[in-house]
Structure 1
Amino acid sequence: MMNRCGLLTLQKEPVPLKSIEVELEVRDHVATVVSTLNYENKEDKPLEAVFVFPLPGDAAVCHFSAKIGQTQIVAEVKEKQKAREEYDDALSSGQQAFLLEESDQSPDIFSLSVGSLPPGESASIRLEYVTELSVQADDGLRFCLPAVLNPRYQPQGSEGAGVQVTSVPASLVPYSLSFSARVSSPRPISKVESNCSLDPLQYLNTDQTQATVKLAAGHKFDRDVELLIYYKDAHQPTAVVEAGQASAEPGSLMGDSVVMVSLYPEFPQSVMSSMASCGEFVFLMDRSGSMGCPITNSKQQETRISSARDTLLLLLKSLPMGCYFNIYSFGSGYEHIFPKSVEYSQQTMEEALKKVEQMEANLGGTEILQPLKHIYSQPCIPNQPRQLFVFTDGEVGNTKEVIDLVKKNSGSHRCFSFGIGEGASSALINGMAKEGGGHAQFITGTDRMQPKVMQSLRFALQPAVVDISVTWDLPKEVSVTVLSPPITALFQGQRSLIYAQLSGQCSEAAEGCVTVKYSLAGHPSENQLHFSLSPAEDTGLTVHRLGARTLIRSLEMDERENRGQQDGGVKEKVVQLSVQSGVSSSFTAFIAVNKDNSEMIQGPLVRRNIPTPLCMDAAPFPAPSAFMPNSMAKCERTTKESIFRGVVHDMAAAPEQPPRDPLLHLVSLQGASGCWLLDPALATALGKTNEEVEKSKPEKANSEVWATILALIWLHGFKMDAKDEWELLAMKAASWLRAQNAPCVTECVDAGNVLLGCSVKKEALGL
C-alpha cells in the first residue's frame, strides 16, 4: 500500500490508539515519565498495531506493562533477537503479545507492537522512562515530550533499513493527549513555561519548592510538548546518593548505592574576560528541503533557513580578527564557500556574506556524514583550535554513524550543535555535542535562534579546559566505580554530571568528597563538593537507572568502535547490564506475553501502522510513484525526498520579503575590524537622515569613530533586550575604539546621546 502522505484515516481505516496519558514527575533536574497508551480494536478482525514514536535521546526506558481486561502483564527485558522470536511464536500460537524495542539506527526512536488484539477488545499499555533535563542558555531546565517524529532521511548505502513511519496532518491525529507534571526541588520553583497552553502553576507548599502544572484541556498531540522549568539559584552543585535494591546481589550495580553528582564549575573572572582571538570556525548548515519550513506555525514568514542566514550574519560579524573560518552547507550533497578555511578579514567576510544571502533550502536530503568526513580530512591550522558549529533540523537515519565519526575526531576540535524546529533528533544533536566536547542547543517554538547560537560562540571563545581529572575521597571501607565516561569538556556555569557506584558499608554520618581538577588558560583550578553518604529518601531507583543507561551507552559505543574485532564480550556485558537493571539498550527489547488467555485468537492478523503527527515541517516521503498533489502546502512540496528523487514541483511565486530587522540591518553594516563607516546606510539604520548625522558630529572627531560610537549607543539605547545577540560584536567595536586612542570620545558619546535621544554612559559602552 502506498504511503501517500500517510493520510490513512481518509481511507476510513480505524486507528486503534485512542488516547495517551502522560504523568511527569520532576525532582530537581531528573524527570520520571509514565505514559499510558490506550488501544481499542473496533474492527471485526484481530489486529496487530504498530506505533513508531520518539523519546528523548538519553531516556532510560525502565518499565513496560500491558493490561487487557483485568489481566496485567509486566514485560521483561531480553536479548533483542530472543524477544522478537518469542513475540512471533506467541502470535503464531494465538496468544497476545507486546514488544517494545529501540531502533538500531537511533536511540531516540522506539517501536511498539501490540499483537493479537481481538475484535472489540481494549488494551492499556504503560511505559516508564527516566531522563536528565538539560540546562538552557537562560538557566531553564528543558523537558521535551516529543510528538513529532519527522521522517528520518536514510542516506544511500547506510546501515540498516529506515524506520517506517506513517504520518498524517495534525488535525487528523485520531488520539488525544492528557499531560500533567509535578515538580519538586530543594530550591523554590520560580516559573514553568511551555510552547503549549498550560493551566496556571499550582504551588503545593508555602516555600514554593513543590508545584503541579498541566496542559490546558483540548490539546491535540500535534507538536512536541516542551516545558522550561526555572528554579531560584539553579547553579548549586549537588550529590544524591541512592540506596541499592534489597533483592539485588550485593556488589552488583543494582545492589550497591549509586551517587549522582552535578557540578557547575565557576571560572575566574580574569580568564573569562579574555576572549580568545584565534581559532578556526567551521559552520556546517543544513540546506535540505525541510529547512524551508516555518520555525513555528505561528510565525509563518520566518523559515528555518532565513533564521539560519540571520544567525550566520551575526556569527560572521562577531568573529575575532586573526581567526580563520569557512562555511559548508549540505543536503543530498554538500558545498563550501572557500576550498579551505581562510583568514578572517573585511574581504573574506564580505565574500562569505554574499554567498550566505543566497542560501536557500534547496539541496535535497540530509546527508550529513559526507561533509563531516570532508571537514575532518582538512588539516588543522597550527595554533588555531578548530570549533565546528552544526545546524540541522536533525532528521537523519544514520545517527549512530554520525556520532561515532564526531567521537573519532574529538581530539582535533570542539563541536557545537543546534537542533532547529520540532522533531530534531535529540540523540543526534546531544550526541554530537557530547562526543565533540561542545554544547547542544534546541531552537523550537518561539525561540530566536540568534541568542542561543551566540551563547555557544561565547563558549567556543572561552579557552579550552584541559587536563580534567576527577578524584574521590571516601571512607576507607567504601570503594568507587565511576559509571560515566570521563569528562571531556567544561564550560562556565554549565552542568557536568557524574554517576558512580559505591561499594561497601559505612556509618550513617559518613561523608565523601569529589574534586574536579583542570587547567584553564595555563592556570590550574579545582572545584570540590562534600556530600553525605546516607541515601536520599524516596528516589525509587531513578539514579541507578540513569547510571545504568550512561554505562550502557558508553559500552554500546565501544562495541561499535571495536566491531569486527574479536572481543564479543561487550555486547554480552550490555545485555547482562540491561537485563539486570531493567533499562533498555540497542541489543535488548521488552517482551510481554499474555499466557492467561486460554482462547486462541483465530484468523490472520491485520497490521495497522499508527500515524504520528505530520508537523508543518516535513511531509513523509512519498512512494516513488506517488506525486504529491499541487494543492499541498508549499513546505510539503519541498520535502527533502521529493527533491532528492528529482520530483520537482512548480513553486508558487515567492512571498514578499518581510522588512529587514533593524538590529540585523545595523549589524550588517559593521566592518570585520569592528568599526562602522559614516555613510547614508548607517543614518537610515539609525532612523536619521545623513545630514542630521553629519551635522551632529563633533568637529575634531574622526568619522569612523563617530559612526562606531553612534552604532554602540543605538544598540545600548534601543536593543538591550537582544544584548545576547550583539554583545560580542559590540565588544569588538569597543576594543577597536580603544585601539584608536581617539581624542574627544566623551564629546562623541554626549553628542550621540543627544542625536539619538538616549542617555547611555560611556562606561556602559566599554570605553
Structure 2
Amino acid sequence: MKYHTICAFYPVSWSVPLKSVEVELEVRAHVATVVSTLNYENKEDKPLEAVFVFPLPGDAAVCHFSAKIGQTEIVAEVKEKQKAREEYDDALSSGQQAFLLEESDQSPDIFSLSVGSLRPGESASIRLEYVTELAVQADEGLRFCLPAVLNPRYQPRGSEDVCIQVTSVPASLVPYSLSFSARVSSPRPVSKVESNCPLDALQYLNTEQTQATVKLAAGHKFDRDVELLIYYKDAHQPTAVVEVGQASAKPGTLMGDPVVMLSLYPEFPQAVMSSVASSGEFVFLLDRSGSMDARMNNSESHQTRIGSARVFIFVPLTHLPMGCYFNIYSFGSSHEHIFPKSVEYSQKTMEEALKKVEEMDANLGGTEILMPLKHIYSQPCIPSQPRQLFVFTDGEVGNTKEVINLVKKNSGSHRCFSFGIGEGASSALINGLAKEGGGHAQFITGTDRMQPKVMQSLRFALQPAVVDISVKWDLPKGVSVTALSPPITALFQGQRSLVYAQLTGKSLAAEGCVTVKYSLAGHPTQNQLHFSLKPAEDTGITVHRLGARSLIRSLEMEERERGGERDGEVKKKVVELSVQSGVSSAFTAFIAVNKGNGEAIQGPLVRRNVPTPSECFFPKLKLMWMLLPISTSFILRDMFRLSPFTLGPPMFQCNSISIEHKQPPRDPLLQLVSLQKASGCWVLDPALAAALGKTSEEVEKPKPALEVWATIVALIWLHGFKMDAQEEWELLAMKAVSWLRAQNAPCVTECVEAGNALLGCNMQKDALGL
C-alpha cells in the first residue's frame, strides 16, 4: 500500500521560514479572484530552500506568480514543466535564487511552491493569484472555499509509485498566521455573507448595497477551510459577459479575441416538473476508510464523518419513490454491498438496508474507490430504471485522475452525485466525479445543515434525464464562435451551467443570441438568451483566463484518454495554450529566476518543508508508531482504526482524538422522517407522538382511521412548524399525499380539523396538497 501524498509530521523545534499568509478575495457576481501573499524570512545562519505543498480549489485557474526580494520583483513565466524544473535546479546549483510553482501530476488541487534560496536574514514575499467560479448552493448562496487543510491522499495497491512530500502539523500548531479579507460587488444588492469562521461585520460601500467588504475576525486559526457563502437579491438569472482581448495579443488567438461567458439557468416546462420520477436505480457508495472516523471539523460538538455519512444515506433512502430500485455499497481497502444486486424499494428492503447502514463503521482501511466503482459499472443496468450514483467520501484519494476517467468512461450509463465530507475533501475529486458523471457536487463540513444539500441532489436525480443537448449560436455576419467549454452533458432545473466561447471577427450589430436545445422526458425543449456584444468594462482578462482554464482541462482529459498517442499532440496544445494564456496546467509550471547582481549565494543549502494543517491521526500500535522513522511513520494512517492518545514533547505535539463520540441530540425533523413508511404513510405509535412533541394519549385521543390520521397530523406538523426547511421534506410530503389519495378515505376533513386542534395550527386541505 502506498500514498501519493506522504505526510510527515513537523517537529516543533524546526524553524519555519514562512511567517504569514495574506489573502485578498475579490468577488464580482459569481467569479472570484484570489491574491495570496506568502511572506518568508530566513532566521537561520545558513541559506534555505523552503518547500510548501498546499491545496487550491481543483477548478482554479492559477494565472500569476511573482517574488519580491527587497525592492526587486521577479515575475514568473509559464514554461513546460520539465524545462521549468531544470531551470530551477540549474539556478540553485549556480548560486542564484529561483522560485517554482507547479501543479501535482496526480491531482489538480495540490500545488508545490519551492523558494530557493534565501540568504541568512533575508526576506521574500511571494504573490500567487488565481481565478475561479463560485458554485451555487441549495439555498442559492454562492460558495467560495479557501482550502487550508491538506490531508494525506491514499494511493491504492498497484498504482504508480509517485509521491509528494507533505509536512503536516495539527491545525492548532500551524506556525504562521493567516489574514483574509474579501470585497464583494454585484449588479444586484448583497444580502448577506456567512462563513464557517468568525467574521467581522459586513461593511457596505455604497447606499445601493451592491458593494461590500468583510474579513476574518482576529485570531483565526488554520483549523478548517475558510468558507464564505455570499447571497445576492434575485441574482440567479441568465447572464452574459463579453470581455475584450489583450491589446498585446494577436487577433485570432484566444487572448487576442473577445471571450464570452454565459451563465445559463434552464427553466423546464411545468407540466414535466410537476410529476416526480417514480423510477430509477439509486446506488449509494459510502466511504468507510479509517479517516472517516475523524470529526467533521475540530469542534468537539460535531459528529464523525462516518456518522454524517450514515445520515446522508438515511435521508435520501427514506425519500425514494415506490417502484424504484436501490443498493448500498461501502469501501475502504476492500468493498462490500448490502444486496447482491439492486432490489426493489419496499418497506422490507428499506428497513433491512437502514439496519445495516446503522451498523457501518470506519473500519475498512484505505481509500480505494476505483474497485467498487468498477464493480458497480459491471452490473447490468435495469431496463427503464435510470441509474443514479451517490458517492459519499472524505476525498482522501491519491489516484484522482484515474477515478475521474473511469466515471467519464461510464457517463453514458448513469449520473453521478458526489459529496465531499469534512475538512480537506479533495475538490478535484468531488467536482470531477459530478462533472464527468453529469451530476452535481456538494461539500459538507461540520457547520452545515446537510439535509438541504442531500435533498437538492436527490431532487436533481429524480428529474428526468436531459438528452440531446445542443448549443446554437446566432451571431451577426462576420462574427464566428469557437467553443472553449466541453459540450454540456447535464442540465437541471434552475441550476447554473457555464459556457465559454471565443468570438472572432467584427460586426456593427449589437446583439447575439444563444439557444440551448434538449429533450426532456420526450418533450423537445429550448431556452434562449439574447446578449449584448458590447464588452463589459473593468473585467481585465478574468473571463479569458477562465475560458483558457476550461479548454486546458478538456484537453488534459483528452490526453489522458489517448494515453499520449500521436506523439503527445494534445499535450503540446495544452503547453502552448498554457504559455499563451499564462494559466497553469498539468504539463506546465511557473518559474522565476533572480539573477540579481551576479553574486552567488555561498554555503550548503538547507531544505525546510513548510507544514500544512492536517487532521491528526495515529494507529492503535502506539509503540510501533513512535519507533518508526519520521520518513515512514506517518504514511500509515488510513490502514488503522484510530485510538485516543497524544504524542507529546519533545518531538511532537498533537491534539488527542477519541473514537467514543457522543451522539448529538436527535433532530425532531429527522426523527419524524425516520418514522415514515416506504409507502409514504405514518403509523400511530409513541415514537410519532414524541416526534410531534405530544404524549401518546394526546395523539391517540381523536381515534379516526389510524394510518390516515397519523399521516395527516404529520403533514400538518411539517407545514405548520418546518416551512423554513421545506426543501428537506417536500418529497416525503408528496409521497404521503399520493398515499392518502390512494386510500380514498372519507375522513380527511375530520382528520385535518382534529390535527389543527391538536397542534394549534390552522392548515387548510389545499395547503397540504389534499
Which TM-score applies when normalising by structure 2? Answer: 0.94
In structure 1, the residue matched to 2:402 is 401
Kept in 2, the 8 Å contact 1:290–1:640? The answer is: no
The runs of at least 4 consecutive aligned structure 1 residues that moved more than 6 Å come to 620-625, 646-653
What CA deviation, in whole Å up to 9, does each residue of 1:644-669 have, x standing for no partner?
A: 16898899683554443332222222
**Aligned partner of residue 380 in structure 2, secondary structure:** coil
CA displacement at 1:756 relative to structure 2: 2.7
**Aligned partner of residue 164 in structure 2, secondary structure:** coil
**Aligned partner of residue 45 in structure 1, secondary structure:** coil
What CA deviation, in whole Å up to 9, does each residue of 1:591-649 have, x standing for no partner?
A: 0111124221122211111001124xx538999996169xxxxxxxxx99445168988
Kept in 2, the 8 Å contact 1:280–1:386? The answer is: yes
Which structure 2 residues correspond to residues 42-441 of structure 1 after superposition, within 5 A? 42-298=43-299, 300-441=301-442
In structure 1, the residue matched to 2:598 is 598
Distance 1:442 1:482 in 2: 29
With over 3 angstroms needed to count, the CA separation of the structure-2 counterparts of 1:4 and 1:59, relative to structure 1, is closer
Kept in 2, the 8 Å contact 1:108–1:426? The answer is: yes
With over 3 angstroms needed to count, the CA separation of the structure-2 counterparts of 1:655 and 1:66, relative to structure 1, is closer
Distance 2:635 2:525 in 1: 48
Aligned partner of 1:765 among 748, 752, 768 = 768
Distance 1:765 1:723 in 2: 12
With over 3 angstroms needed to count, the CA separation of the structure-2 counterparts of 1:678 and 1:612, relative to structure 1, is same
In structure 1, stretches of 5+ residues that fail to align are 630-638
Which amino acid letter does the alignment assign opposite residue 513 of structure 1?
Answer: C
Percentage of matched positions with identical amino acids:
82
Which amino acid letter does the alignment assign opposite residue 670 of structure 2?
Answer: L
Aligned partner of 1:662 among 642, 650, 668 = 668
In structure 1, the residue matched to 2:720 is 717
Check if 1:707 corresponds to 2:710. yes
In structure 2, the residue matched to 1:636 is none
**Aligned partner of residue 310 in structure 1, secondary structure:** helix
Kept in 1, the 8 Å contact 2:303–2:663? The answer is: no
In structure 2, stretches of 5+ residues that fail to align are 628-633, 646-656
With over 3 angstroms needed to count, the CA separation of the structure-2 counterparts of 1:717 and 1:77, relative to structure 1, is same
Aligned partner of 2:10 among 8, 11, 26 = 8
Which amino acid letter does the alignment assign opposite residue 448 of structure 1?
Answer: R
Distance 1:178 1:312 in 2: 37
Distance 1:640 1:363 in 2: 16
In structure 2, the residue matched to 1:555 is 555
In structure 2, the residue matched to 1:460 is 461
Distance 1:305 1:505 in 2: 57
Distance 2:404 2:603 in 1: 45
What CA deviation, in whole Å up to 9, does each residue of 1:199-241 have, x standing for no partner?
A: 2112111111111111122222332111111111111111111
Which structure 2 residues correspond to residues 519-668 of structure 1 after superposition, within 5 A? 519-615=519-615, 618-619=616-617, 627=625, 641-642=636-637, 644=639, 654-655=660-661, 657-668=663-674
In structure 1, the residue matched to 2:652 is none
Which amino acid letter does the alignment assign opposite residue 256 of structure 2?
Answer: G
Distance 2:71 2:93 in 1: 23
**Aligned partner of residue 316 in structure 2, secondary structure:** helix
Distance 1:69 1:140 in 2: 42
CA displacement at 1:753 relative to structure 2: 1.8
Distance 1:255 1:652 in 2: 57
Distance 1:577 1:693 in 2: 69
What CA deviation, in whole Å up to 9, does each residue of 1:15-37 have, x standing for no partner?
A: 00011111111111111111110
Distance 2:357 2:669 in 1: 18
Kept in 1, the 8 Å contact 2:7–2:166? The answer is: no
Distance 2:273 2:641 in 1: 50
Kept in 2, the 8 Å contact 1:364–1:641? The answer is: no
With over 3 angstroms needed to count, the CA separation of the structure-2 counterparts of 1:643 and 1:247, relative to structure 1, is closer
Check if 1:739 corresponds to 2:742. yes
Kept in 2, the 8 Å contact 1:5–1:620? The answer is: no
CA displacement at 1:290 relative to structure 2: 2.1
Aligned partner of 2:681 among 669, 675, 683 = 675
Kept in 2, the 8 Å contact 1:417–1:433? The answer is: yes
What CA deviation, in whole Å up to 9, does each residue of 1:274-305 have, x standing for no partner?
A: 10000000001111122222223335352222
What CA deviation, in whole Å up to 9, does each residue of 1:426-457 have, x standing for no partner?
A: 11111110111101111124102221001110
Which amino acid letter does the alignment assign opposite residue 721 of structure 1?
Answer: D
Tell me whether 523-532 or 435-444 shows the greater mean CA deviation. 523-532
What CA deviation, in whole Å up to 9, does each residue of 1:28-55 have, x standing for no partner?
A: 1111111110100111111110000111
With over 3 angstroms needed to count, the CA separation of the structure-2 counterparts of 1:655 and 1:423, relative to structure 1, is closer
In structure 2, the residue matched to 1:633 is none
Which amino acid letter does the alignment assign opposite residue 333 of structure 1?
Answer: S
Which amino acid letter does the alignment assign opposite residue 682 of structure 2?
Answer: W
Distance 1:649 1:231 in 2: 44
Kept in 1, the 8 Å contact 2:21–2:179? The answer is: yes
**Aligned partner of residue 164 in structure 1, secondary structure:** strand
Which TM-score applies when normalising by structure 1? Answer: 0.94
**Aligned partner of residue 481 in structure 1, secondary structure:** strand
Which amino acid letter does the alignment assign opposite residue 422 of structure 1?
Answer: E
> How many pairs does the alignment contain?
749
Kept in 2, the 8 Å contact 1:416–1:436? The answer is: yes
In structure 2, the residue matched to 1:634 is none
**Aligned partner of residue 313 in structure 2, secondary structure:** helix
Kept in 2, the 8 Å contact 1:154–1:162? The answer is: no
CA displacement at 1:118 relative to structure 2: 1.0
What CA deviation, in whole Å up to 9, does each residue of 1:143-174 have, x standing for no partner?
A: 11111111111222223523221111222111
Tell me whether 439-448 or 71-80 shows the greater mean CA deviation. 439-448
In structure 2, the residue matched to 1:493 is 494
Which amino acid letter does the alignment assign opposite residue 347 of structure 2?
Answer: Q
Distance 1:557 1:441 in 2: 22
**Aligned partner of residue 566 in structure 1, secondary structure:** helix
